[in-house]
Amino acid sequence: METPFVEQQEADAALIDEVRTGLQQVPKRLSSRFFYDAEGSRIFAEIMHTPDYYLTRSEYEILDTQKADLLQLFAPDKRPFELVELGAGDGLKTKILLGFLADQQADFTYAPVDISGDALDKLVDDVQKQWPDLLLNARHDDYFNALEQLSEESDARRIVLFLGSNIGNFAPDEAIDFYRQLYDRLQPGDLVLTGFDLQKHPAIIHAAYNDRMGLTRAFNLNLLRRINTELDADFNLAAFDHYETYNPESGEARSYLVSQKAQMVRINALDMAVPFEYGEIIHTEISRKFTRTQIEELARQTGFSVTGWFTDCKGYFADVMFER
Ligand code: AVI
């Protein structure tokens, strides 16, 4: 999976803060960055293989069928480059690229960055086993710290990968801030390849977040189970439901948890009692879908030029190259 956003040791303080403030807001909210404990990451890995969740398959197809064109953009002159992957997770899709780059004897270092040490250790282990000669420079760090350190260490061209539609989980102003921060840390000529989920028939998007196997439901409810375990709370999971909306005007898929009855939930670690009315929601996730115009505008607003546009055969997903 991509991007387990919160490191375990820090999770408690961050989770405490989120639960304390988020459950006192109107409407209540909890951020999807807390989905990814071990169980949440396991469920997400399953979601990526379900027929309804087309995103992973679409991006896999893009990388697989267009890897030669990507390499041409990464290293047109066969100069060495550093492939920095933000939120590398298990690197499932990146391994297609790594295998190809290794076969082509491309001169590159792979620098996966992840804030989850466990995910990163596993990825490093896998990559070393599969390609013992590949140069690896893994960073267990925050994205921007890692980029700063990498630029101090080498002046190779940097190619930053931010795959899997992780950008869709950012609010619009956070996305702008993210690319501005990247811009400040990159050199002219460096590249960023981002996976964007594109707007399409709303029913297809809605189904991806409301899958027939009920995995998205389990993924969303797992957040309550996590709070029960880590903060000694008594959420009754059977008394909450998963609800998904997709608004084709805003391009936002939104996930909610819905209280199925009036109830009081105790969160003992915070000495807090949270009342829920019948039908009251907790907003947990935004997964934004983009138009080509919006992506081009995002590049323009943050100083990048769009220099490559790769889509799957259905036009569901795009891996877009921004050049600094
Ligand atoms: C990680 N992220 C890009 C996923 C998405 O599609 O927003 C998380 C997810 N939520 C529900 N299903 C998958």
Strand partners, 265: 274
Which atom of ligand 1 is least distant from the CA of 169? 7
pLDDT of 211 strictly over 90: yes
* 166 Cβ closer than 6 Å to some ligand 1 atom: yes
Closest CA to 82 of 103, 58, 101, 109: 109
241: exposed, middle or buried (Cβ count in 10 Å: 0-12, 13-18, 19+): middle
Res. 257 pLDDT band, cuts 50 70 90: very high
Q: How far apart are CA 304 and CA 185, in angstroms?
A: 13
pTM over 0.75: yes
What digits encode the pLDDT tens for the residues 62-115?
Answer: 999 999 999 999 998 888 999 999 987 777 788 999 999 999 999 999 999 987
* 168 Cβ closer than 6 Å to some ligand 1 atom: yes
Predicted local confidence at residue 117, as pLDDT: 76
Predicted local confidence at residue 41, as pLDDT: 86
Q: Is 281 helix (H, G, I), strand (E, B) or coil?
A: strand
Predicted local confidence at residue 93, as pLDDT: 83
What digits encode the pLDDT tens for the residues 127-144?
Answer: 999 999 999 999 888 888
* 209 Cβ closer than 6 Å to some ligand 1 atom: yes
Nearest CA to ligand 1 atom 7: 287
pLDDT of 4 strictly over 70: no
Q: How far apart are CA 30 and CA 64, in angstroms?
A: 36
Predicted local confidence at residue 10, as pLDDT: 46
* 165 Cβ closer than 6 Å to some ligand 1 atom: yes
Tokens of 52: 């309804």
The alpha carbon of 287 and the centre of ligand 1 are apart by a number of angstroms equal to 6
Which atom of ligand 1 is least distant from the CA of 44? 13
* 216 Cβ closer than 6 Å to some ligand 1 atom: yes
pLDDT of 288 strictly over 50: yes
Predicted local confidence at residue 25, as pLDDT: 97
Predicted local confidence at residue 9, as pLDDT: 46
The alpha carbon of 195 and the centre of ligand 1 are apart by a number of angstroms equal to 12
pLDDT of 151 strictly over 80: no
Which residue is listed with tokens 């803060």?
17
